[in-house]
Structure formats: structure tokens, C-alpha cells
């Protein structure tokens, strides 16, 4: 078994024994299993898939990093939500706001920031749609 902790600035999101975790790394999906070589790598806006007792759970996360050492895995991320915690109306509003900014391109628009907001909203809506 592996011990997985997921921490955000607000809370200890998860601290459990698990079999495998799959994350969205900056270079693609990364599966972490027991007894692997130590690793620390950045995460993208995406999903964390947690496998435990033959079941899978999924959470949305925003950036951060994953670190695995001695069968302890730590994910530190800016935000994490289970599907049932995602407020669809809020995510839709965030998506529309970002889309409007990117379409109108007002002076001084921080394009990277608007694109990241759009990605966060789409990631939340996609996860919510799946469950
Ligand atoms: P918004 O513009 O609606 O605040 P955001 O993408 O800027 O969205 P984040 O900065 O990623 O929000 O997250 C800030 C906090 O709000 C985090 O704790 C995150 O879990 C929570 N959060 C953001 N959007 C949602 C949502 N749609 N449903 C539930 N929690 C959310």
C-alpha cells in the first residue's frame, strides 16, 4: 500500500492508504505504484485518480506538484474538489467570464491568467459531467 496525502492551502483534502494514484503531470499522465523510484514533478490543471480496494475515485486539482518517496505520496495543489463539491453554476460563470475576456481582449488583459481560469472551469465541468 501507499500513503497518499493531498493538501491544499485550505485543508488536508485526503490522507489514506491507497493502491495507486494517477495524476496529470506536465509531461502527461503519471501512475504512481508501490515501491517506485522517488520522484517530484509538477502537475497540470486536471484530475487525480485514486485506486483503493478495487474502486476508483476522482478529484479535480489545480496545478501544484506530486512527490513520491518511501511509499509516501504527497500532492500539494492550489485547489482540490470531489465531483459532489463542484458548484456547476460557479464553474459555468467562471468559464463564461474567461471566454468573454479572451474574446473581447480588453487593454491590459492577462491572457495567460484568463486561459488558466478557463481551463480550471472546464476541468471542473468535465469532472462533474462524468459523475
Ligand atoms: P472562481 O472564479 O469561481 O473563484 P477559480 O477557478 O478562480 O474560480 P480557484 O482559484 O481555482 O477558483 O479556487 C479557489 C477556491 O474555490 C478553492 O478552494 C476551490 O476549491 C474553490 N472553487 C473554485 N471553483 C469552484 C467550484 N465551481 N465549485 C466548488 N469549489 C470551487
SS3 content of the chain, % helix, strand, coil (to 5): 30, 45, 25
Q: Can you point out the beta strands (E) in 53-100?
A: 55-61, 65-69, 72-76, 80-81
Share of the chain above pLDDT 70, in %: 100
Q: What is the pLDDT of residues 102-118, one digit of tens each?
A: 999 999 999 999 999 99
What is the C-alpha to C-alpha distance for residues 76 and 5, in angstroms, rounded to an integer?
A: 8
What is the C-alpha to C-alpha distance for residues 128 and 107, in angstroms, rounded to an integer?
A: 34
For residue 120 and ligand 1, the question of a CB distance below 6 A is answered with: yes
For 26, other C-beta atoms within 10 Å of its C-beta total: 12
Compute, in angstroms, the gap from residue 57 CA to the centroid of ligand 1: 20
Q: What is the pLDDT of residues 38-70, one digit of tens each?
A: 999 999 999 999 999 999 999 999 999 999 999
pLDDT band at 82 (very low <50, low <70, confident <90, very high): very high
Ligand 1: which atom is nearest the Cα of residue 124? 27
For residue 86 and ligand 1, the question of a CB distance below 6 A is answered with: yes
What average pLDDT score do residues 9-26 get? Answer: 97
pLDDT band at 131 (very low <50, low <70, confident <90, very high): confident
Q: How many CA atoms lie within 13 A of 124 on its CB side?
A: 21
The structure's pTM equals 0.95
Ligand 1: which atom is nearest the Cα of residue 85? 29
For residue 91 and ligand 1, the question of a CB distance below 6 A is answered with: yes
Protein residue whose Cα sits closest to atom 10 of ligand 1:
79
Amino acid at each position: 500500500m501507499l500513503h497518499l496525502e493531498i493538501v491544499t492551502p485550505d485543508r488536508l483534502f485526503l490522507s489514506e492508504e491507497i493502491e495507486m494514484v494517477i495524476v496529470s503531470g506536465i509531461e502527461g499522465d503519471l501512475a504512481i505504484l508501490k515501491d517506485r523510484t522517488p520522484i517530484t514533478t509538477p502537475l497540470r490543471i486536471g484530475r487525480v485518480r485514486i485506486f483503493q480496494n478495487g474502486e476508483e475515485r476522482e478529484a479535480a486539482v489545480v496545478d501544484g506538484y506530486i512527490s513520491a518517496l518511501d511509499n509516501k505520496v504527497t500532492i500539494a495543489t492550489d485547489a482540490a474538489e470531489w465531483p459532489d463539491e463542484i458548484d456547476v453554476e460557479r464553474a459555468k460563470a467562471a468559464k463564461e467570464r474567461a471566454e468573454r475576456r479572451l474574446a473581447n481582449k480588453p487593454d491590459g488583459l492577462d491572457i495567460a491568467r484568463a486561459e488558466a481560469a478557463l481551463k480550471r472551469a472546464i476541468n471542473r465541468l468535465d469532472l462533474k459531467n462524468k459523475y
